Structure 1
């Protein structure tokens, strides 16, 4: 009996969660730093699995700013959120945006955004 149950559990495999997808992003320079707006899509299931943040990084991975998403957006897909006051080093021509989910953490893939 134990072997049958174990076999059923192994056949089922782990639950597969998916990274949030960055559909697009914009940047605008201002007197108090840069403002970024990022549009995400994620197959959210509510509090069990949702996109819970994104961040702006340099090419080398230095984090310039992080936007925390405090709740699921399962009924609002895709959705856009903004972050302002981000200090981008002089001479930077592009930044990378990385999304985070409550299940998988920070995604490996990044979205490259050329700065205007």
Structure 2
């Protein structure tokens, strides 16, 4: 029984250590008109269609989704990479947003990048 427990614990610890969640390196926001543009730079060890960053989202301070950028393909040879989300309508009074990226295997990044929208 003890050896079964050790084997299971070893498997679980091994998989947790192998997780490669996406890392958001930078984000820039602009308001060219009435809507916003968000440029996000992401890094992740994409290996191909079986394991890659497949999107990122913009959230408010309460975790509500304000926008989503689908990433249509792996970026194996393009790391880090930057993609944009345009025409983002933010609720009036929004002073900060949070950005999280999603991996096709490991799910959502545990840390969200906080971005201030100005004074």
- TM-score, normalization: structure 1? 0.85
- Which range is displaced more, 86-95 or 57-66? 86-95
For structure 2, list consecutive stretches of 5 or more residues without a partner in the other structure: none
Give the root-mean-square deviation of aligned CA atoms.
2.2
* CA displacement, residues 57-108 of structure 1 (integer Å, 9 cap, x when unaligned): 0010110100000110010000000001111111111100000000012222
| Equivalence for 1:107 | 109
| Equivalence for 2:35 | 33
| Equivalence for 1:81 | 83
* CA displacement, residues 26-79 of structure 1 (integer Å, 9 cap, x when unaligned): 001132411000000001111111111001000101101000001100100000
How many pairs does the alignment contain? 111
Superposition misfits of 4+ residues, deviation over 2 angstroms: 9-15
| Equivalence for 2:48 | 46
Q: Distance in 2 between matches of 1:12 and 1:62?
A: 31
Cα distance change of structure 1 residues 90 and 102 upon mapping to structure 2, 3 Å threshold = same
- TM-score, normalization: structure 2? 0.83
**Partner SS, residue 14 of structure 1:** helix
